[in-house]
Amino acid sequence: MAQPDVSRSTVVAGLVHGTGLTGLVRPASEHADRVGGAGERMLPVRPELRRLLPGGGLRRGSTVAVRDGAAPGSVSVLLALLAAASAAGSWCAVVGLPTLGAVAAAETGIALDRLALVPHPGPEWPSVAAALLDGLDIVVAAPPGPVGASLAGRLAARARQRGSVLVPYGQWAGADVTLEPVGSSWQGLGEGHGRLARRRLVVASHGRGAAARPRQATLWLPVGTAPAVPDVVVPLRGEEVA
């Protein structure tokens, strides 16, 4: 007779209790009733990011990776990717990213009361991520090192089975879509005076299937208490607007 998976049971119980999710963690597909109606398969994203993702949003069961690109700003891209779904009612989790700041998440539009943070999961991080995929809508996983194709495939399969979205942070084999910053600049600071007002990030996407064609879009991010910047898509020179 097979022995129970004590390690997985302990991880799940600890996460549910430690993050205050008691009574709320259930199959991610059930959250569709709250987010966008029964059978909803697409979670919303900011308008600037829609053209970078097949279907214009985060498809349940997909794997959307965010990795460092030619320019800084990968954490900002990650937070922007979660913001609209979180604001619409989705539950999110971030595993293995201790430098992620709650203030930055809130300023981006993420609802902190629906955000579970597991900054130091240790060597059990795959079990932690798998447990969260069972019950939350979007799970960010930042592994401490390279991830083999077999493990990446198992976690992606878990997301497909549970109807959640896996968002690996860093190098990840086999993602449906990969987003990365390729350009970055700041506005608002003059020659020796003023303050930073907003940040311009150029984000590139590539992937498989419907995402095979490389695309780019411009993301504007407010900084601190600067006025919010309207959501717009700014095409690059010569870029086709979808």
CA 65 to CA 196: how far, in whole Å?
Answer: 29
Crossing angle of helices 149-162/125-133, nearest 10°? 20
- Which strand (E) or helix (H) includes residue 187? strand 177-189
Q: Judge whether 81 and 109 are in contact, CB under 8 Å.
A: no
Do the beta carbons of residue 57 and residue 79 sit within 8 Å?
no
Note down the domain range covering 121: 27-180
Helix (H) / strand (E) element for 205: namely: strand 194-207
- The per-residue pLDDT for 29 is 47
Q: What is the pLDDT of residue 34?
A: 41
Please indicate, yes or no, if residue 219 is contained in any of the structural domains.
Answer: no
Q: Distance between CA 4 and CA 186 in Å, rounded?
A: 53
Closest CA to 125 of 140, 137, 139, 143: 143
Domain assignment present for 218: no
Q: Angle 6-18/125-133 helices, nearest 10 degrees? A: 70
Whole-model pTM: value is 0.78
Helix (H) or strand (E) holding 221: strand 215-222
- At residue 155, the pLDDT reads 98
Strand segments, DSSP code E, in 24-111 are 42-43, 58-59, 64-66, 92-95
Per-residue pLDDT of the chain (242 residues; tens, 9 = 90+): 444 343 444 555 565 555 555 444 454 445 444 444 434 689 999 999 999 999 999 999 999 999 998 889 999 999 999 999 999 999 999 999 999 989 999 999 999 999 999 999 999 999 999 999 999 999 999 999 999 999 999 999 999 999 999 999 999 999 999 999 999 988 877 766 777 778 899 999 999 988 889 999 999 987 543 334 333 333 333 444 33
Query: Does residue 117 form part of some domain?
Result: yes
At 164, which CATH number?
Answer: 3.40.50.300
| Number of domains the chain contains | 1
Range list of β-strands (E), 84-145: 92-95, 115-118, 138-141
- Whether 14 is in a domain gets the answer no
* Strand 215-222 with 194-207, pairing: antiparallel
State residue 194's pLDDT score. Answer: 73
Residue 200 in domain: no
Domain assignment of residue 228, yes or no: no
Q: Which amino acid is it at 62?
A: S
Residue type, 173: A
CA distance 122 to 119: 9
